[in-house]
Structure 1
Amino acid sequence: MPATGYPRPVQKATSTACGLVLGFVLDRVFADPRRWHPVAGFGTAAAALERSTYADDRRAGVVHEVVAVGSVVAFGAAVARGGLLATALATWTVLGGRSLARAGHAMADRLDADDLAGARELLPSLCGRDPSVLDADGLARAALESMAENTSDATVAPLLWGAVAGVPGLLGYRAVNTLDAMVGYRNERYERFGWAAARTDDVANLVPARVTGVLTVGLAPLVGGTPGAAWRAWRRDAGKHPSPNAGVVEASMAGALGVQLGGRTQYRHGAELRPTLGEGPAPRTADLRRAVRMSEAVQVGAVVVAGIVGWVVRRG
């Protein structure tokens, strides 16, 4: 038994739970590093790896996914010996909640100032849509939908993976999500090669997206909505979305805000006609600000859930 008098499982559970909370606080205070971000470094390494692994074939994509994610998970397992400090730093590294909220506020500020050029310049930091074809309402809708999806991807999912798998879970999830953003497209180059990245990301986000949906439903009154409206939108509309996870978080957010999302969506690789989610008017700048408040509330709820889950799972 360690000198502290606490059994090792209790120490491990405490280290995980406290490390997740501390890392969340670091993200709230400092946000993402502006230079030398480890996730950007992983992206550079993954792009270099792609030059060796790429082929217009699903098997090549599987190899790419296994090598890239596997190396990150192995690194996470090695540094996990650092205990609470390692968990806190890894959590800070993979979270993007503070930067997401800042981008949402900045987009709303530019739209309120009728600065469409500035809003279009900012949009790529939120999502991969083509800003050149979007008017003010289109920019508000794109930012709000991205706010909903990235609340899950940038905060809820990494926290939950950290709760159940520690540092390897934190870093491994971020690697999976980053690869999906890089190659998980249905276009000529990545239709087959990116299949493994897209499917792995779908699986990794199945539970986190639904936890995000539950938190959004429960916290809807904080933005002037009702849990009932958020729940109805989720149940009625989420299944219409082509993504099994984005549909949940976007529909519940639409219901909580009382707006309608979806419709024609212009990406750089082409246009898609998305189903409508929720009932009400198209979102405007005020709704985007409410979405930022909801995102921040869900993030706080997620770290509480992750701390509890981390304590229970890592203690057992």
Structure 2
Amino acid sequence: MFGAGRCARVIGPGLTGLAAGYGADLLFADPRHGHPVAVFGRAAAALEQHSYADGRAAGAWHTAALVGAVAVAGAAAERLARRAGPWGVAATLAASTFVALGGTTLVRTGDRMAAHLAAGDLAAARALLPSLCGRDPHSLDADGLARAALESVAENTSDAAVAPLLWAALGGVPGVLAYRAVNTLDAMIGHRSPRYRRFGWAAARLDDLANYLPARVTAALAALCAPLVGGSPREALRAWRRDAARHPSPNAGVAEAAFAGALGVRLGGPTRYAYRLEIRPTLGDGPAPSVADLRRATRLSRAVQAAATVTAALLTASLRCRGR
């Protein structure tokens, strides 16, 4: 066990790195040009030209090669940072966390969608929807766009904010960068289109595993923060317990059900993608979400992200003081 003084020296860089990464995301959001995640995406697409085959083994190799390379690069960066002292570690963790986070861009996009819908500008709302999710926007009316945006805000509060913060706490620089690589690959190839049904299987299952704990932390924090948007913690927990398991995703359903309960709305129903139509189960009780509910959802997302930062900081302090 560490003494109090040594414990403070060990946890200080971790806490500073997490807080600085979260603060940078609040201030700057995602860079519009030269984002490292976009660079990774281009590299993954280039590798796919050589690695693609219509089978799970090829997809597993593709996923392992890319995620492994990012994890090794992150571990090397962390080792180099240690040579610069504790604050070198803090700076490297802050930069990595900032790169992995996308929570501020998420809520800003949700707010822009709400503004377009409130103004009755469906063309602008449909043009914006691909920034939030992969659904076919042309088949959606105003109500459908509001529901799609709210479901995306709920799911991506976990994927783009809570999960990176938890993986930064649990795995440091290599952990948070590897998580972002996994989540990016899932978005690229982890869907059930004819091309990726088998090739993307490994990426999708790895993303399910990486997001299992973060999705449940997101749901718990959504319940905790529900009163801040006029919602009910009890209803959030009730919807989570009752409805989440019916969703086809083991993680998205958890976050979406908790948000639905917290906001007092009903999510789910027919969901059209470019390559298929899904009939999703109903999540939560109450009316279909309105523009006002979408705005409440973005406020809830901001609150959950702040609470997740505190949770990750406490986790960092606990793990590092125990000598991990």
TM-score past 0.5 threshold: yes
Query: Is 1:109–2:115 an aligned residue pair?
Result: yes
Count of paired positions: 311
Structure 1 unaligned regions, length at least 5: none
Which range moved further: 304-313 or 12-21?
12-21
Q: In the alignment, what sits opposite 2:50? A: 52
Query: Is 1:295–2:322 an aligned residue pair?
Result: no
Could you tell me the TM-score, scaled by structure 1's length?
Answer: 0.97
Tell me the secondary structure at the aligned position of residue 191 of structure 1: helix
Q: In the alignment, what sits opposite 1:286? A: 292
Select 1:90's aligned residue among 92, 96, 111.
Answer: 96
Name the CA distance, whole Å, in 2 between partners of 1:206 and 1:51.
Answer: 30
Q: For residues 132-168 of structure 1, give each alpha carbon's deviation from its aligned partner in whole angstroms, at most 9, with x where no partner exists.
A: 1100000000000000000000000010001011000
Q: In the alignment, what sits opposite 1:35? A: 33
Q: In the alignment, what sits opposite 1:308? A: 314
Q: In the alignment, what sits opposite 2:146? A: 140
Q: In the alignment, what sits opposite 1:274? A: 280
Tell me the secondary structure at the aligned position of residue 294 of structure 2: helix
Measure how far apart 1:278 and its partner are: 0.3
Name the CA distance, whole Å, in 1 between partners of 2:274 and 2:176.
Answer: 30
Over the residues paired in the alignment, what is the CA RMSD in angstroms? 1.1
Name the CA distance, whole Å, in 1 between partners of 2:273 and 2:10.
Answer: 44
Name the CA distance, whole Å, in 1 between partners of 2:171 and 2:320.
Answer: 8
1:67-78 superposed matches below 5 A: 67-78=65-76
Question: Is contact 1:164-1:314 (8 Å) kept?
Answer: no
Measure how far apart 1:196 and its partner are: 0.3
Supply the AA of the counterpart residue of 1:37.
H
Name the CA distance, whole Å, in 2 between partners of 1:226 and 1:272.
Answer: 29
Q: In the alignment, what sits opposite 2:84? A: none
Q: In the alignment, what sits opposite 1:248? A: 254
Q: For residues 52-73 of structure 1, give each alpha carbon's deviation from its aligned partner in whole angstroms, at most 9, with x where no partner exists.
A: 1111111111101110000000
Measure how far apart 1:313 and its partner are: 1.4
Name the CA distance, whole Å, in 2 between partners of 1:51 and 1:10.
Answer: 48
Q: In the alignment, what sits opposite 2:170? A: 164
Name the CA distance, whole Å, in 1 between partners of 2:54 and 2:320.
Answer: 41
Q: For residues 230-263 of structure 1, give each alpha carbon's deviation from its aligned partner in whole angstroms, at most 9, with x where no partner exists.
A: 1111111000000010010000000000000000
Name the CA distance, whole Å, in 2 between partners of 1:62 and 1:144.
Answer: 32
Supply the AA of the counterpart residue of 1:220.
A
Structure 2 unaligned regions, length at least 5: 82-88
Q: In the alignment, what sits opposite 2:85? A: none
Name the CA distance, whole Å, in 2 between partners of 1:124 and 1:14.
Answer: 39
Measure how far apart 1:85 and its partner are: 0.4
The percentage of counterpart residues that share the same residue type is: 60
Q: In the alignment, what sits opposite 1:151? A: 157
Measure how far apart 1:6 and its partner are: 5.0
Select 1:11's aligned residue among 9, 12, 15.
Answer: 9
Question: Is contact 1:255-1:278 (8 Å) kept?
Answer: yes
Supply the AA of the counterpart residue of 1:38.
P
Name the CA distance, whole Å, in 1 between partners of 2:200 and 2:252.
Answer: 18
Question: Is contact 1:56-1:193 (8 Å) kept?
Answer: yes
Name the CA distance, whole Å, in 1 between partners of 2:201 and 2:163.
Answer: 21
Name the CA distance, whole Å, in 2 between partners of 1:314 and 1:197.
Answer: 30
Supply the AA of the counterpart residue of 1:161.
W
